[in-house]
Structure 1
Amino acid sequence: MNKRFSKTIPALLFASALVASLAACSTGGAGGGSAYPERAITIVAPSGAGGGWDKTARSVAKVLSETKLVEKSITVENKPGGGGAVFMAEYATADAKNDYKLFVNSPPILINHNKKEGNSPYGYKDTTPLAQLTKDFGAVVVGADSPYNDLPSLLDAIKADPTSITVAGGSAPGSMDHLIAVLPAFKYGIDPKQVKYVSYDGGGEAIAALLGGSADVIATDVSGVGEYLKAGKVKVLGISAPERLVGELGELKTFKEQGVEAEFLIWRGVFGPKEMSDGAKTYWSEKLKALSDNEAWKAELQANAWESDYKDAEAFAAFLAEQDKLVQELLSALGMSK
């Protein structure tokens, strides 16, 4: 064999091994590459217990773990404050590269960024959208002993004396529950600023306020009141869906069929950090798609009165861009845009 050639072979092998080693190092990091995930994962619900974010995060974690779609342990954490704005400020800065912390969110990630009062400097562009999983709708809810049995009668009372009706929600003024509350009022000819709104950290606390007599009405997501409706503790005066739902909630009237031309979609999805590694993004794209197709997940949808509305990362990002424009238009119409 040629001596020069024989010396070249080991050198080439060494160089090849070095390149492979460097490539592996460059993708291993916080969570990329074929080794991801190497440790436990956290899914954050940026609210207190009992609301839509909390239930979504726990259902996702439960199905991923019980079906072994994800073999590493998954912990759900509640991070309440400002309708998700407090968590976003921390996440977008301290966890921008943390592949092991995901979170669930819905329209507030857009609303908080675009509203006039107490807006957040951070929005969906400070994250990596991974997948939309469900859609839900808003609901205007009163206690079982309330004198109001339909949406127009409640709105007439608010129009007559706005200070006499306390409306509660599980998010800050200008955030999602507040919009669900004031949108039908606005469409009914009521100045949205006149609606007496009190905020709580999560839908669970808002329902507790209603049942405890601290609020006359709550604005929330329809899926969060199913168990209270079955137990005869509340009445749903109207929902923000374009048409009636199917199944057990099919008797609930929409805003529109009561003469109030208002709709509001509550999508929910999973997000990662803005600088998420390619390996982690690919991993979660595959796992969340598999989750959406799994029978155990479909059972969770039914149990929580959620509708499946899966979008992959690319479609979800495009959808968010469209929704961001719609939220800006809605806030502007309500006089609440920044």
Structure 2
Amino acid sequence: MKLKKMKLFATGTAFAMLFGGAASAAECIAPANAGGGWDFTCRQIGKIMYDIGVVDAPIQVTNMAGAGGGLAYSNVVNERNEDEELIVAASSATSTRLAQNAFGGMTSDQVRFLGAIGADPGVIVVAADSPYETLADLVNAIIADPGSVTFAGGSAAGGFDHLKPLMILQRAGFTDVRSIKYIGVDGGADAITQTIGGFTQAMTGDMSEIVGFIRAGEVRALAVLTEERVPGFEDIPTAREQGYDVVAVNWRGLYVPGGISDEAYERWAERLRAVAESAEWQETMAANGLAPFTKVGGDFQAWVDGVIAETEALSREIGVIQ
């Protein structure tokens, strides 16, 4: 038994050295209170990094709630810009708020986006008895008469749920996005209830919000807004394969301070890739309803830059920002 433990220790130590050596002072900021999505990201990714040996000590989690992530963002930019042992939980809400200038004038280029390794896929849903059988049916109905369809979503007007159908319609060549009717309610369950009850014609939200309703046969998902069909829900086509090139997911990922070295950035990127490829992370995704979505390093930074630019332009069109 002692020999086995020594072998495990040696393997873990070698693996940690391969990924940049000791990380005993590493910290992950969750920009919200305990129990939320950002807290989940820090705790699960940090735990797996330690369990698989890419860091040699547990990663400390610090909850820093405030301003929808803005307090943590300000702290990183102003106080810890060169801290190479710091990672910060982020999601699509982070990029949306940056695009809409919700962080008091701070901009996305003040940090470096590290990667996303899982996502809650966006969906467009109608009631089971809806006349709209496909995404094209819904889009064509809106193009013919914008007032004929009202969407319900769990975010406020201008939030991510609101933007999802607008992106699809833009891909269809529809330009009058202000004419699209949207009602923001208190969460995805309320949005589905509005649609099932016939008060709205469609729901825009996330996969995790509709699973129970799909299994109960109460709704029909017209599209999932991912690059590929979601495991376990292979009968739901993507928007892409239906001719609308939109990927809109509530990604789970990290950013790091903008002033760290390229070497430190790549070190964290390799650690995150190792988590994404681990059996432990596959189990965590399955247990928490996340779909595979892996973009790490420069590819992720470029993707986020594009998302922010599109979100900013769309937010101006609908009057969320000037």
TM-score by length of 1: 0.63
Residue 255 of structure 1 contacts residue 263 of structure 1 at CA under 8 Å; is this kept in 2?
A: yes
Residue 192 of structure 1, CA deviation:
2.0
Partner of 1:42: 28
Q: Matched residue of 1:284: which SS?
A: helix
Specify the alignment match of 1:290 in structure 2: 274
Within a 5 Å distance, the mapping from 1:1-338 to structure 2 comes to 36-38=23-25, 41-44=27-30, 56-67=41-52, 69-70=54-55, 71-75=57-61, 77=63, 79=65, 84=69, 88-89=73-74, 91-93=76-78, 96=81, 102-115=87-100, 121-134=105-118, 137-142=121-126, 149-152=133-136, 154=138, 156=141, 160=145, 162=147, 165-170=150-155, 172-186=156-170, 187=172, 189=174, 191-199=176-184, 206-211=187-192, 213=194, 216=200, 217-222=202-207, 225-226=210-211, 228-230=213-215, 232=217, 234-241=219-226, 245=229, 247-255=231-239, 261-266=244-249, 268-276=252-260, 281=265, 284-303=268-287, 304-312=289-297, 314-325=298-309, 327=311
Using the alignment, how far apart are the partners of 1:47 and 1:178 within structure 2?
A: 25
Give 2:3's aligned residue. Answer: none
> How far off its partner does 1:121 sit?
2.2
Cα distance change on mapping 1:322 and 1:261 into 2, 3 Å: closer
Q: Secondary structure at the match of 2:162?
A: helix
Q: Deviations over 1:104-150 (max 9, x none)?
A: 334554443344x8685223312133334246642113466767554
> CA separation in 1, counterparts of 2:224 and 2:278?
28
1: CA distance, partners of 2:54 / 2:104: 34
Task: Classify the secondary structure of the residue corresponding to 2:113.
Answer: strand
Computing the radius of gyration over CA atoms, which structure comes out larger, 1 or 2? 1
Return the alpha-carbon distance in structure 1 between the equivalents of residues 169 and 299 of structure 2. 33
Aligned-partner Cα distance in 1 for 2:60–2:72:
19
Distance 2:165 2:22 in 1: 47
Distance in 1 separating the partners of 2:53 and 2:93: 31
Unaligned runs of 5+ in 1: 1-32
Q: CA deviation at 1:223?
A: 5.6
Q: 1:308 to 1:210 in 2, by over 3 A?
A: closer
Q: Any unmatched runs of 5+ in structure 2?
A: 1-19
TM-score, normalised relative to structure 2:
0.66
Deviations 1:265-298 (A, max 9, x none): 4354311223447886565334223212322113
How many percent identity over aligned positions? 22
Partners in 1 of 2:40 and 2:183 — Cα distance? 22
